[in-house]
Structure 1
Amino acid sequence: MFNSKPFEGINFYEIDWNLKGQLWAHDPVISREGDCWYVFHTGRGVQIKTSTDGSNWKAIGSIFESLPEWSKEFVPEKEEDSLWAPDISYYNGIYYLYYSVSTFGKNTSAIGLVTNTTLDPNNPDYKWVDKGHVIHSTENDDYNAIDPNLIVDQQGQPWLNFGSFWSGNKLIKLDPETMKPQAGAELLGISSRTEQPNTIEAPFIIYRNGYYYQFVSFDFCCRGVESTYNIVVGRSKDITGTYVDKEGVSMMQGGGTSIDTGDDRWIGPGHCAVYLSGDSSLLVNHAYDALEEGKPTLQIRPLYWDSEGWPYVK
């Protein structure tokens, strides 16, 4: 089963998500093992935070101590050791964490994969195993291989969706054994905008009640209080699309129903992840805190659904 272990039997709506502690985070994702929550996010070596109650958070280090050796072949100009936009999933008894190696504003990029059998650093079996390169892009490509997300469809087939700017977000079929692209797999477009620059990135796909929902971020991150990031969604009966918004506009033509555009304090919410547990749902993202000079800050909130099956936050 895909992603059943981390959240099985948990009602997200009954948890106090009033976050405290060490909340600096960019591009966060969440998982759970036993009685402990884990957040992974952009930073040196992929940063890790943990919480026993979902409210109080502390940093506990990173996955990598330095850039993985394999990445130097694909992104030779990268010198600082920040790894971006991790994605965590539990699949067939293993935690799969995809991550990005890139430099800002360029599409000389690569996605890597690391695995573990546990998230608990105190477990004697705790060991991140570097599986190396998954997919990459060069300056000659019309896409950017960053911001990965694993989704397993209703037939049990794993896919990787990813992307940032250029020609938009992509989807590719994975080999269930290697969890890397199948030989000869077609690279499919799943969302794009009609203007340039193509300000769309960070797709995240879930399945719920007959639809695949694709969440993406529009506009610009990483500008503190000047950030314009915002979260939108579309849905499709088929994982490969076409994804449309509430008005029926294709996400390949700039469609997207708004989820969150921020407010006076929480500027530019984006790079979201969505998790399901029973009838409850969770939205995880970062936003720039205007009261903290635009510090990127972890947000975890209940995600609700209207009578027509469209998600929203209160």
Structure 2
Amino acid sequence: MRTRRRTRTRIATVGAGALLALLPTLARADTAYPDPQEITGQEIIHDPTLMRLKNGKYVAYSTGGIIGARLSDDRKHWQDAGNAFAAPPAWWKDYSATSDPWAPDLIRRDGTYWLYYAVSSWGTNHSAIGVATSASGMPGTWEDRGKVFSSEKTDPYNAIDASVIKADGKLWMAFGSYWSGIRIVELDPDTGKARPGAQIGHLATRPDLPYAVEGPEIVRHGRYYYLFASYDACCAGTDSTYRIRVGRSASVTGPYKDSTGKPMLEGGGDLLLAGHGTFIGPGGQSVLSEGGRDTLAYHYYDATDSGTPKLGLNEISWGADGWPDVR
């Protein structure tokens, strides 16, 4: 029985280090998948979360640095914008000796920007999700609010990879990586933190070890909630096998099923995007919703650039049956 190892890597905001090949199997090439839209400038990113701010600029926060930041005026040309924080909050040391945050999630509610992020170390679920707030959402303006939710080695889940959504008058956070897969917990809307004693729901998993599903993103479209998740292995450069799957539910707490009716708790999930050509291992996804248009944001590993992780953007189209596709 294999022990789950955390397969994230630290990506510098101005460059990319060597990526550890944990699972050396190639992603399936399939030209049926669309290439990412062409972008320029600072392309390097990992686990992006995007939003258009009140000042009209697009911001992308990501794994790397002290939550790395990019800015764009048109969503095509991106510039490095430093980090969300000038210095890491002291409490991060309890979960990461290097104060290395992962997989941020940016939302706006009640006129305030909220930035969720994970702090952990490889090979452990001694992990925590934290939150910071900002009036503008711009890099360098964030005030950390501390720990939202945590997990320990005795828990069957891992408190990383947050996705926060307001549904039915309540605030919810999906989270999880490997162990038993994707979970969900209710948050207190005043603090943005987990309600004490809140029940932890189960949304998705795989039928066998190492339960390789992580990075949830929940969005509402029509009468359904859609759960996007990354399956298989990231962070191995051109050997990465990440791919993005999706299921839906009439309730934010599930059950989520794919288009064949197979529950995501039983390994179901429609394959939305996989590696093809030189675009390897797409995952770490989020969804940018703007003006009635939805865009899938993710990282992929560029086979023409030594497996450097780069920003991928594709428009989401919604079929008459309500299921998403990318173009």
Cα deviation digits, residues 13-71 of structure 1 (max 9, x gap): xxx94211111100001011232110000011100000111111111111224432122
Q: Which runs of 5+ in 2 are unaligned?
A: 1-35
Q: CA RMSD in A?
A: 1.4
1:238 aligns with 2:251: yes
The answer to whether the aligner puts 1:47 opposite 2:60 as a matched pair is no
Q: What is the aligned partner in structure 2 of residue 204 from structure 1?
A: 217
Matched, 1:89 2:107: yes
Check the 8 A contact 1:147/1:202 in 2, yes or no: yes
Q: Which amino acid aligns with 2:72?
A: S
Instruction: Report the Cα distance in structure 2 between the residues aligned to 1:183 and 1:82, rounded to whole angstroms.
Output: 26
- Where do 1:147-226 residues align within 5 Å? 147-153=161-167, 155-226=168-239
- Counting aligned pairs with the same residue, the percent is 39
Q: What corresponds to 1:6 in structure 2?
A: none
Amino acid at match of 2:305: E
Q: For residue 4 of structure 1, what is the aligned residue in structure 2?
A: none
Partners of 1:120 and 1:67 lie apart in 2 by 17
Query: Match for 2:315 among 302, 308, 312?
Result: 302
Unaligned stretches of 5+ in structure 1?
A: 1-15
3-state SS of paired residue (1:44): coil
In the alignment, which of 150, 154, 158 is matched to residue 144 of structure 1?
158
Deviations 1:89-134 (A, max 9, x none): 000000000001011232111100000000246xxxx731110011
Q: TM-score, normalised by structure 1?
A: 0.90
Q: Which residue of 2 aligns with 1:3?
A: none
Which aligned runs of 4 or more in structure 1 are off by greater than 3 angstroms?
A: none
Opposite residue 115 of structure 2, the aligned amino acid is L
Conserved 8 A contact 1:17-1:54:
no
Answer 1 or 2: higher relative contact order, Cα 8 Å, separation at least 6: 2
**Aligned equivalent of 1:248:** 261
Q: Which residue of 1 aligns with 2:289?
A: 276
Hey, what does 1:10 align to over in structure 2? Answer: none
Measure, in 2, the Cα distance between the counterparts of 1:98 and 1:301.
Answer: 23
Q: CA deviation at 1:243?
A: 0.2
Equivalent in the alignment of 1:24: 44
2:137 is the counterpart of 1:116: no
Counterpart of 2:259 in structure 1: which amino acid?
A: K
Partner amino acid for 2:300? A
Provide the C-alpha distance between the structure 2 equivalents of 1:247 and 1:196, rounded to a whole number of angstroms. 24
Equivalent residues of 1:71, 1:133 under 8 A apart: no
Matches of 2:88 and 2:82, distance apart in 1: 15
What is the one-letter code of the residue matched to 1:70?
W
